[in-house]
Amino acid sequence: MSEANRTWQNWARSVVVTPRRVERPSSTEELQQAVKRAVAAGQRVKAVGAGHSFTGIAAAPDVLLELENLQGIIDVDAQRGRVKFHAGTRLHRIPVLLAGHHLAMPNLGDIDRQSLAGAISTGTHGTGAGFGGLATQVVGLTLVQPDGGLLTIADDDPLLPAAALGLGALGILADITVQCVPGFALRAEESSELLADTLDTLALRVESADHFEFYWFPHTDRAATKSNTRLPGTVPLQPRSPVQRWLDESLLSNSVFRATCAAGTAVPALIPTVNRTAARLLGGRQYTEVSHRVFTQRRTVRFREMEYGLPAGRLEAAFTALRQLVEDHGWRISFPVEVRWAAADNRWLSTAHGRDSAYIAVHRYYREEYREYFDAVEEIMLAHGGRPHWGKLHSLDAAALGSRYPHFDDFLAVRNRLDPDRVFSNDYLDRVLGP
């Protein structure tokens, strides 16, 4: 199916583009043909999943390939726990697909609307000092090349560290093989507490919990913490009741939060009071559920986000500087600041490449002006060795990024070899990788 001149926009409404043509391939063969047609016409081509990146990484100047018809499992290697998926498979569908094989993904981020291809290509991660981002779970993939041919990369291929987190710059992902684990449960402990107490015990919490994260509500002295402990999939579950889940995910986290964001936009003086109330409400719960129900949350409030990965040892200094920044400028920030962790990995363009990492993410309601806040936060993150999330807002270009990644030039060399004519490029990739 093909459409001409249809405007596309991402989830955050931060990117709008009208490509010459939109196509929805339903098989790998149709994906190959779509790329060949674009190249024959001298057009650039990009694939898009759910559009959950805040940057223009998926924006297509000429041909946009929507992968919504390329979803599901292709093959399962039950003995090794490896599952091959169509690249467009949405993350929220994967737990159900894996359940029949008694498998699960080792870790997930807190949002699961993305496509698998988009999530690995932008460096999506969850939290847990002993766990890498989603791209580290990739043990094989297939890329459609400019001539329409297929490049298959296995787990022992030296190209995998480049291609598993490739920004969409090396080809169009057709399929992805993920290393899964036996299905497991998580015991979640959520608490509202003084921020000072959280920071005083931070190192111990990060080390002792399988998955730890916290949220600081600006203009307050409180944090909402979440510690998840991994348990066998056979343990008795103690899930939240349907009413509690609705209160947590629909009422408090979305409906009420949307209303308070809108009110805060109209009357910024309300924000500190709202944040103090929210910080106290988000805590005091313990429950045990299957892993994906604990990892992920339903988010319907639109926002803009910037996130930086830092050397784990620089987290507290950067976080202290951020708190001082908000106080000094007198901004009224309604969204909490999110802090997470990830293990070092070997993916060339991973924000955690070669170093254990901590992440600081800042947000603003999509109707609020974000640039002054984000620019000032970015200056702090860069001063502490930060690397920006590829799918979230930042201002860096190739000249600034190159020195932050040991294998940046190696990645560019692979790009030059696989896509010398920049068939798979766009304005964003031209900025962060160079033309």
Record the tokens describing residue 124, joined without a space. Answer: 């999506």
pLDDT in the model for residue 243:
53
The band of 251, judged by pLDDT with boundaries at 50, 70 and 90, is very low
For residue 249, being part of any structural domain is answered with: yes
For residue 288, being part of any structural domain is answered with: yes
Place of tokens 């889940």: 245
Q: Which of 135, 150, 182 is the last residue of a domain?
A: 182
Same domain assignment for residues 360 and 226: yes
Same domain assignment for residues 349 and 250: yes
d(CA 170, CA 155): 17
Percent with pLDDT over 70 in the chain: 91
Record the tokens describing residue 123, joined without a space. Answer: 């460096």
For residue 164, being part of any structural domain is answered with: yes
Specify the pTM: 0.94
- Name every residue whose Cβ is closer than 8 Å to that of residue 110 and which is 6 or more positions away in sequence: 126, 295, 296, 297, 299
Same domain assignment for residues 141 and 78: yes
For residue 304, being part of any structural domain is answered with: yes
Contact status, residue 305 vs residue 55, Cβ threshold 8 Å: no
For residue 355, being part of any structural domain is answered with: yes
Same domain assignment for residues 210 and 349: yes
Contact status, residue 249 vs residue 285, Cβ threshold 8 Å: no
d(CA 190, CA 188): 6
Record the tokens describing residue 116, joined without a space. Answer: 């698998």
Same domain assignment for residues 125 and 204: no
Percent with pLDDT over 90 in the chain: 83
Same domain assignment for residues 212 and 360: yes
Q: Which of 368, 388, 408 is the last residue of a domain?
A: 388
CATH of the domain at 111: 3.30.465.10
Contact status, residue 365 vs residue 260, Cβ threshold 8 Å: no
- Name every residue whose Cβ is closer than 8 Å to that of residue 122 and which is 6 or more positions away in sequence: 53, 57, 165, 167, 389, 390, 391
pLDDT in the model for residue 4:
78
Same domain assignment for residues 107 and 190: no
| Cα separations in angstroms, 46 against 65, 113, 403 | 6, 19, 27
Same domain assignment for residues 287 and 325: yes
Q: Which of 135, 167, 182 is the last residue of a domain?
A: 182
Same domain assignment for residues 216 and 86: no
CATH of the domain at 368: 3.40.462.10
Contact status, residue 40 vs residue 16, Cβ threshold 8 Å: no
Q: How many domains does the chain have?
A: 2
Could you tell me the residue range of the domain that residue 116 belongs to?
A: 73-182
Average pLDDT over residues 297-322: 93
For residue 8, being part of any structural domain is answered with: no
Same domain assignment for residues 250 and 377: yes
For residue 324, being part of any structural domain is answered with: yes
- pLDDT digit string, tens, across residues 340-396: 999 999 999 999 999 999 999 999 988 889 999 999 999 999 999 999 999 999 999
| Cα separations in angstroms, 29 against 23, 24, 325 | 13, 12, 52
d(CA 106, CA 40): 41
Same domain assignment for residues 212 and 129: no
For residue 22, being part of any structural domain is answered with: no
Same domain assignment for residues 249 and 344: yes
- Out of 46-55, 110-119, 261-270, 382-391, pick the least confident: 261-270
